[in-house]
Amino acid sequence: MDESREKFKKNKEAFKDVKVKTDASNGDVIKAFDVMWDSKYKMKRTRLDMRLEMKKVLTPEQSQKLRDYKKEHRQKMKEMHQKMKEAQPAQ
């Protein structure tokens, strides 16, 4: 999973670089875009495959516990991001 995430980040940066080049052709930009989105698809597919494998082995109670944990984690992250926004000086 980390490998696909790193590959996506690298391809995203490459796309950004090509996009701002004044001498890049439309074809170069489109190719970089396609490579970036292909790596994002592969990353998401890997995540889906992993979740499906987990679903096979977890008991219903474990699945519920995992869902509860994810919900709690999302809420904590949301609160943390909100605090960070509030702490930023107004521009």
User: What is the per-residue DSSP string for 13-66?
Assistant: HHHHHHHH-TT--HHHHHHHHHHHHHHHHHHHHHHHHHHHHHHHHS-HHHHHHH
Q: Report the pLDDT value the prediction gives residue 88, as an integer from 0 to 100.
A: 84
Reported as a single tens digit per residue, the pLDDT across 18-49 is 999 989 999 999 999 999 999 999 999 999 99
More confident residue, 82 or 5: 82
4: pLDDT strictly greater than 90:
no
49 and 59 Cβ atoms separated by less than 8 Å? no
15 and 36 Cβ atoms separated by less than 8 Å? yes
3: pLDDT confidence band, cut at 50, 70 and 90?
Answer: confident
10: pLDDT strictly greater than 80:
yes
Q: Report the pLDDT value the prediction gives residue 1, as an integer from 0 to 100.
A: 64
Distance of CA 26 to the CA centre of its chain: 26
pTM reported for the whole predicted model: 0.63
Domain regions of the chain by residue span: 2-87
